[in-house]
Structure 1
Amino acid sequence: MLSRVAESLFWMSRYFERAENTARFLDVNFNLLLDLNRIATLESSNCWIAPILVSSEKACFEGQYNEYSAQTVTDYLVFSRNNPNSIRSCISLARENARSVIESISSEMWEQINNLYHFLQSVTPQQVQGDPYSFYKEIKNASHLFQGITDNTFSRTEGWDFIQIGKYLERADNAARLIDVKYHMLNPENERALDPVHGSVEIIQWMAVLKSCSALEAFRKVYLSKIDPDNILRFLVLERTFPRSIAFSICSAQEALWAISGSTRNRYANNVDRLIGKMESELSYTSVEDMHYKGLHEYLKELENGLMRIGEQIHLLYFAYHTPKIEPSDLSDSLPFTGLGGGRAGWSQSQQQQ
């Protein structure tokens, strides 16, 4: 397989997953405000800063907007062309990647991604503000349909493996960021800094964390007792049967990488297989107590940095057209959306500009 084709399939999948994750988080945020009967304070910055923190776009956002509100956050994360991680930008980039390898994907895949692209071009901010539920549902359903079409029309070749790698690396990174931000904001130690969270209100907030990963029903089937923050952490990070947990995503990405390289559990063929194998093994023997002992924020940051290095090594091994330095001097120059401070790598943009 040509490296150009592999890279386009990887980023097509990753950008689609990113758009769906953003849509789900914004949708849950709107519904959370309804559940908490906080419509009158919809413009409160505390309600809308979390989606920006999850996407690591705080500095960029504050450079363009003066306040955190439903209107400004929606405009930035849905419509802004200056934000490469907005839903509109992600779908445009996914479509461009699909177009560049249109001969390698099925006509049904191209039709679905093209339909969503044109739908987004026709939607106005006023429509989203008036009916956010219908809009975000459309984005999520379009992503599910695209993944279902891909499952049923794409041959299980190396191209399929690169699609899976992109999807699951993005999913793991998004889950780590979400847990880091929301767990910190709901931590009792921070009650003085934010609105107090007690009783039923706290339960609603933690349910929103699960809904942001489409995990509420699956969580309830495993943990029948009262919603507990440690159980939520255990489920979203370590549960290997749930397809949106970090552990499941890492295992799935590892299987796809091994299918390409021929690595096994006892022998790795390259550095990227070593890195992801090490991460999978550490997750296998990690407990919630270990995370707290190390510091949850530090643990999740280390996980995000590990995903960043895996993405960099995938590029160097499979996509690069030259031989750059193996480790970037500045981590912010690594994988898009996973770089510290939301940095975007030059190499990730090279093929987008073709």
Structure 2
Amino acid sequence: MLRERCGRFTSHSTPSFRFSRPTLSRGEAYEFLKLGCHLERADVIARILDVQYPSASMYLAESREETVGLTALVKSCGAFEAFRKAENPVLRAERVLEFLLLDEACPRSVLFCLNACLGSLSAIAGSSDRAERAIGRLASELSFLDTSSLSGEGARGLLHRVLGAIADASSEIENTYFTTRVIVAGAYAQAQQQQ
């Protein structure tokens, strides 16, 4: 069920960028598309982990249920092949979480996406220092994270911080580049609308 929903999300959100990427000039529009794609991917992966990881980590180690649950989790994030190539063939909850959060080479990991966001922000003229700081702080925290803190409630707290930091960065990007103002209609315009 989760995999189906994530598949629908992926099939509806990424084709426009995937198909337009070869034809777009590599200017600011391209960087904005990359920024949005990677920020959204980091958010979605963190949300999937926040919802699915606690139940996946409750299984008995090396049980069939653990293998099935963790396989479904990694597949729902679109990182199964990358995980199998990079990791030991035996799935462990802590290793899955560490891979999906901290792997710098897998395009489906949160840290990879955050580093890509930083690259896009630095390529955009008039880049927002606040947005770069918000993403940079989170990327630094993940880069230097002590992986022993990923067990138990430490993982839950970290995922909540990651989601909060991504939301803050998204707000900063929106405020910097996509601000809109509501223009209040004057008394004459309001009177015309009421008639």
Q: TM-score range by the shorter chain?
A: 0.7 to 0.9
2:130 aligns to what? Answer: 271
2:47 aligns to what? Answer: 177
How far apart in 1 are the matches of 2:115 and 2:15? 23
TM-score by length of 1: 0.47
Which one of 286, 296, 309 corresponds to residue 155 of structure 2?
296
1:218 aligns to what? Answer: 82
Matched, 1:240 2:110: no
1:285 aligns to what? Answer: 144
Q: How does 1:134-283 map to 2 (within 5 A)?
A: 140=10, 145-188=15-58, 199-261=63-125, 270-283=129-142
Query: What code does the residue aligned with 1:315 have?
Result: E
CA contact (8 A) 1:186 1:197 kept: no
**3-state SS in 1 of match to 2:22:** helix
Matched, 1:25 2:2: yes
> Percent of aligned pairs with the same residue?
29
**Change beyond 3 A, Cα 1:320–1:151:** same
CA contact (8 A) 1:251 1:280 kept: yes
**Change beyond 3 A, Cα 1:197–1:235:** closer
CA-based RMSD:
2.7
| Alpha-carbon shift at residue 291 of structure 1 (Å) | 3.1
How far apart in 1 are the matches of 2:23 and 2:30? 10
**Change beyond 3 A, Cα 1:224–1:197:** closer
**Change beyond 3 A, Cα 1:315–1:176:** same
How far apart in 1 are the matches of 2:62 and 2:86? 24
Query: What code does the residue aligned with 2:17 have?
Result: Q
Alignment length (residue pairs): 182
How far apart in 1 are the matches of 2:61 and 2:98? 21
Residue by residue, what CA displacement relative to the aligned partner does 1:285-331 show, whole Å, maximum 9, x if unpaired? Answer: 113213337711111111101011111111111111349xxxxxxxx
Which one of 163, 174, 177 corresponds to residue 318 of structure 1?
177
Structure 2 alignment gaps of length 5 or more: 183-195
How far apart in 1 are the matches of 2:48 and 2:11? 21
**Change beyond 3 A, Cα 1:198–1:294:** closer
